[in-house]
Chains A and B, each alone.
Chain A
């Protein structure tokens, strides 16, 4: 508990001398009223600062006093740089002249930002008038300082049209004794943002002084003439004849008075022993008026006291009762009530009183003051309303809103935030006060927190997407943005944040991305070389495999002085294939027709490999080509396999030809043997007719004729065979199909007859084929016909082999039908070495097919009606030569 030491009293002679106390004690008195205070020695070195304030600024007396460069005050760091020079200059001047220090400047706040504050200080003199120290306080001006809106209300009726500025324009009009009072009132109005009412003697034009009450607003002031009300008291102000035990209280009151313009001291029964003249005059009461017991009953026993007449009837009882209780219990007295002004108006005041105690702790008296809070009250109410509305707005807006201090410490979350996430402000705040981001998914939290703290440090807007907790325990994707709010000087005061649910957006995007990724993976892992090109053919994409295959990517062929397409083709296509590739590719690009080509492609190692490239156009809704997509399959191995197969087939064909030759030669032998045999028979007969007794010349003659005939038959057979072989050496001759079919029939006629099979041949005449290998086609015919014959070996009747040849479009269609048991394995019969027979190698159909296909035709098997098999092959007609 603070206590004044070294009391020397105040002389009763009508002028209060500054109490002889040291600056620290004075500061502590002030501190009890305003919450903070400071004291310095005569040189301005801090000897006391309210400990809480030191802690708040994280500083120490030593630090405040240090002068790093010999010319800078240690408190510089808590003052805004722009304001420091003025403040420092004022302080130096005050230290020199003893003037009151009264400076407005921006000061570092708890939020880390600067706020306006008013710093006041005054010297303490010893008995000799020498300054022994300074004490003062700092008042935060964050409370309403802009109350212009109330100005009109305040000044209208009561204040007439006096110009307020005029009143205080010059201190010259103020009685010299009252000037400090006026100055302090003006200062209080400034640093509290609360209008101050006081009174002073104003110099009139005739040289006399009149008492005026004046009211000082934060940014203007006015004066009202109250002289008639106070002029009756000639004595300027009154003190009790004896302070009694209230000496300490009076001294404290005097100290307070210096700061607040008005103060009072009362004894333990509530009797005033001191009241500042201004306080007295503003309510137009003397000490006597204040102390008179209105109903003859001591105040402590429930009686009303004179000062209560100066309070509003509704507040009077309460004010008295609370003070009475404070006096009895020693509790601090804090009460708000309306004070009756000399001009008859009631104005809200906040009054406070604190006890002084002796060394035993016994209360010796009370000192107190009352401040005009009327405007404050009204402003506060308005602010509360505004704040309530804002709060309502924030709570009803369908968004998660929050704010933090400048350093990121969470300061607020709106109602909806808590409803949606289930987290309160406490949940969002880490034990050390930093933002916990407790609602952020653990996997995202560290990064989000890092990003937010980075924004806080850098003052940069914050935007982040992460999964945010929901009250039910689930998480949803959320986008959070935060922007700093800055004061006029640009310093960050707060951060405001907004979180919006973007889960559906994100999940849609994610699904899309996944789908894209999936597709990409698909394309990249397909065992094929894939590429895409623009409608003009410019390559724009190659799959990983294609890039690896080629050993270079899209851009690598750029800058060769040709288009990317040409550059690529020149680099990768085998020189022998290049022309056809370019031609076909250009054709597809021009027409939109699919592209299909086999060619050799240069691999990264320089080896050319056969590939099959297919590309087709991708079109948009309007049918326009937007892209070409291509696939390239390495068919090198297939090509080799095909070559191998072709070789094997060639060998087999030769083997088959050899086999067929054996067949053929047997047939030829039979053909030749028949006439030969006849010739020999006739020869023997002729010999007998000639050697008979008598020789039968007539029969011999006849027999000889028959010999000649048969010999001619043999010669015809031989020439037919010669013709056959002669034709086979002329590859691909242009003859009609009919004779070829008939010859085949002739070749098999004997066999068919022997096996009692009828051969029916029908065909259009004039079927002119494109040049073909007659022997090969005959071989096919014979093969198919013999198959048909064989197929019918196991059926007992209706053994008919039908051969038909007719035109179908630009092809001739040759059908060989049998009435055997049909084909059991239609898919397999064309495979080499497949056979259903006991004899033969099963090569016939495979070879036949390859022969037909090499002629540009096709060979296949069908079911014959009503039974049996039908083998069909086609050959291209020479349409130009067709009739």
Chain B
């Protein structure tokens, strides 16, 4: 069984690196991108889970999610943001997989596993 592939997008290199570290420590294969455009140009093929920051230059997290879902409607997507006012916005309310920085790494890993399990089941 191959490792599940998690694509991570964040414009903050520290955050990006810490997420990669976290997911690799949990046995996932992490591939990181500093922008949505970079991810899209690389392609979503083989990506099992998408974790993306919301506030980014260029396509933001919401746009990226929508674009990814267009390609793979079943793709689990996690949105994370450091700006809590964005999390309070209407469009973010009630969405699953929405995380506010800082968050508990174990919780994220559990959520990713759940999403992968759901998809498999």
Interface residues of A, Cβ cutoff 8 Å to B: 666, 669-670, 673-686, 688-689, 692, 696, 699, 703, 706, 709-710, 713, 750, 753-754, 756
CB contacts (< 8 Å) of A685 on chain B: these are 18, 21-22, 24-25, 105
Query: 11 extra interchain contacts, Cβ-Cβ under 8 A, other than A754-B56, A754-B57?
Result: A669-B82, A674-B101, A677-B103, A680-B103, A681-B19, A681-B21, A685-B21, A696-B25, A699-B21, A713-B14, A754-B55
CB contacts (< 8 Å) of B60 on chain A: these are 754
> Are A753 and B102 in contact (CB-based, < 8 A)?
no
Given contacts A666-B85, A669-B82, contact A681 B55 (CB under 8 A): no
> Are A670 and B18 in contact (CB-based, < 8 A)?
no
Q: Is the CB of B58 closer than 8 A to any CB of chain A? A: yes
Q: Which one of A669, A673, A683, A684 lies within 8 Å of B109 (CB-CB)?
A: A684
A interface footprint on B40-72 (CB within 8 Å = 1, 0 otherwise): 000000000000000111101000000000000
Give chain A's interface secondary structure class. helix
Closest to A673 in B: B82
> Are A682 and B22 in contact (CB-based, < 8 A)?
yes
Q: Is the CB of B17 closer than 8 A to any CB of chain A? A: yes
CB contacts (< 8 Å) of A679 on chain B: these are 18, 102
Docked CA distance A750–B54 (Å): 12
Q: Is the CB of B38 closer than 8 A to any CB of chain A? A: no
Q: Name the 7 nearest CB pairs between A and B, nearest first.
A: A684-B105, A681-B18, A677-B101, A688-B25, A673-B82, A677-B102, A685-B25
Q: Is the CB of B26 closer than 8 A to any CB of chain A? A: yes
Q: Is the CB of B114 closer than 8 A to any CB of chain A? A: no
Q: Is the CB of B83 closer than 8 A to any CB of chain A? A: yes
Shortest CB-to-CB span from B42 to chain A, Å, is 20
Docked CA distance A697–B7 (Å): 25
Docked CA distance A814–B21 (Å): 45
Docked CA distance A720–B112 (Å): 35
A interface footprint on B77-121 (CB within 8 Å = 1, 0 otherwise): 000101111000000000000001111111011000000000000
- Within residues 1 to 34 of chain B, which ones have a CB less than 8 A from any CB in chain A? 11-12, 14-15, 17-19, 21-22, 24-26
CB contacts (< 8 Å) of A703 on chain B: these are 21, 25
Q: Which one of B21, B83, B108 lies within 8 Å of A706 (CB-CB)?
A: B21
Interface residues of B, Cβ cutoff 8 Å to A: 11-12, 14-15, 17-19, 21-22, 24-26, 55-58, 60, 80, 82-85, 100-106, 108-109
CB contacts (< 8 Å) of A675 on chain B: these are 14
B12, B15, B25, B58: residue with the most chain A Cβ atoms closer than 10 Å: B25
Q: Which one of A666, A688, A699, A706 lies within 8 Å of B26 (CB-CB)?
A: A688
CB contacts (< 8 Å) of B15 on chain A: these are 674, 677-678, 681
CB contacts (< 8 Å) of B85 on chain A: these are 666
Q: Which one of A677, A684, A713 lies within 8 Å of B25 (CB-CB)?
A: A684
Given contacts A666-B84, A680-B102, A684-B105, contact A706 B57 (CB under 8 A): no
CB contacts (< 8 Å) of B19 on chain A: these are 681
> Are A669 and B83 in contact (CB-based, < 8 A)?
yes
Shortest CB-to-CB span from B113 to chain A, Å, is 13
CB contacts (< 8 Å) of B17 on chain A: these are 678, 706
Shortest CB-to-CB span from B21 to chain A, Å, is 4
11 A/B residue pairs, CB under 8 Å, sorted by A = A677-B101, A678-B12, A680-B102, A681-B105, A682-B21, A683-B105, A685-B24, A685-B25, A685-B105, A706-B18, A753-B11
CB contacts (< 8 Å) of B58 on chain A: these are 756
> Are B56 and A753 in contact (CB-based, < 8 A)?
yes
> Are A676 and B18 in contact (CB-based, < 8 A)?
no
CB contacts (< 8 Å) of A676 on chain B: these are 101-102
Closest to B85 in A: A666
Docked CA distance A696–B82 (Å): 30
Shortest CB-to-CB span from A664 to chain B, Å, is 13
Q: Which one of A666, A681, A756 lies within 8 Å of B22 (CB-CB)?
A: A681
CB contacts (< 8 Å) of A709 on chain B: these are 14
> Are B12 and A674 in contact (CB-based, < 8 A)?
yes
Docked CA distance A203–B21 (Å): 185
Shortest CB-to-CB span from A440 to chain B, Å, is 96
CB contacts (< 8 Å) of B26 on chain A: these are 688
Docked CA distance A677–B24 (Å): 17
Shortest CB-to-CB span from A695 to chain B, Å, is 11
Closest to B17 in A: A706
Shortest CB-to-CB span from B78 to chain A, Å, is 13
Given contacts A678-B18, A681-B19, A710-B14, contact A673 B102 (CB under 8 A): yes
Closest to A707 in B: B18
Closest to B61 in A: A754
CB contacts (< 8 Å) of B103 on chain A: these are 677, 680
Q: Which one of B18, B80, B106, B109 lies within 8 Å of A710 (CB-CB)?
A: B18
Docked CA distance A689–B22 (Å): 9
Docked CA distance A666–B59 (Å): 21
Docked CA distance A683–B21 (Å): 10
Closest to B15 in A: A678
CB contacts (< 8 Å) of B82 on chain A: these are 669-670, 673-674, 677
Docked CA distance A679–B19 (Å): 10
CB contacts (< 8 Å) of B100 on chain A: these are 673
Closest to A686 in B: B25
CB contacts (< 8 Å) of B12 on chain A: these are 674, 678
Closest to B60 in A: A754
CB contacts (< 8 Å) of A666 on chain B: these are 83-85
Shortest CB-to-CB span from A592 to chain B, Å, is 63
CB contacts (< 8 Å) of A706 on chain B: these are 14, 17-18, 21
Docked CA distance A703–B14 (Å): 12
CB contacts (< 8 Å) of A713 on chain B: these are 14
Docked CA distance A753–B102 (Å): 21
Shortest CB-to-CB span from A420 to chain B, Å, is 100
Docked CA distance A688–B26 (Å): 7
Shortest CB-to-CB span from A807 to chain B, Å, is 33
Docked CA distance A699–B21 (Å): 9
Docked CA distance A673–B53 (Å): 13
Docked CA distance A713–B17 (Å): 14
Docked CA distance A78–B104 (Å): 146
B24, B101, B109: residue with the most chain A Cβ atoms closer than 10 Å: B101
Shortest CB-to-CB span from B112 to chain A, Å, is 12
Q: Which one of A670, A678, A680, A686 lies within 8 Å of B83 (CB-CB)?
A: A670
Closest to B26 in A: A688
> Are B14 and A678 in contact (CB-based, < 8 A)?
yes
A673, A709, A710, A750: residue with the most chain B Cβ atoms closer than 10 Å: A673
CB contacts (< 8 Å) of A686 on chain B: these are 25
> Are B104 and A680 in contact (CB-based, < 8 A)?
yes
CB contacts (< 8 Å) of A678 on chain B: these are 12, 14-15, 17-18
CB contacts (< 8 Å) of B80 on chain A: these are 677
Docked CA distance A683–B80 (Å): 18
Q: Which one of A674, A684, A696 lies within 8 Å of B104 (CB-CB)?
A: A684
Shortest CB-to-CB span from A215 to chain B, Å, is 147
Given contacts A666-B85, A689-B25, A754-B56, contact A673 B18 (CB under 8 A): no
Docked CA distance A680–B108 (Å): 11
Docked CA distance A670–B82 (Å): 5
Docked CA distance A753–B55 (Å): 8
Docked CA distance A117–B65 (Å): 145
CB contacts (< 8 Å) of B14 on chain A: these are 674-675, 678, 706, 709-710, 713
CB contacts (< 8 Å) of A673 on chain B: these are 82, 100-102
> Are B104 and A692 in contact (CB-based, < 8 A)?
no
Docked CA distance A709–B12 (Å): 14
Shortest CB-to-CB span from A718 to chain B, Å, is 15
Closest to B11 in A: A753
CB contacts (< 8 Å) of A699 on chain B: these are 21, 24-25
B11, B55, B82: residue with the most chain A Cβ atoms closer than 10 Å: B82
CB contacts (< 8 Å) of B25 on chain A: these are 684-686, 688-689, 692, 696, 699, 703
Shortest CB-to-CB span from A686 to chain B, Å, is 8
Closest to A689 in B: B25
Shortest CB-to-CB span from B99 to chain A, Å, is 9
Docked CA distance A692–B27 (Å): 10
Closest to B14 in A: A678
CB contacts (< 8 Å) of A696 on chain B: these are 25
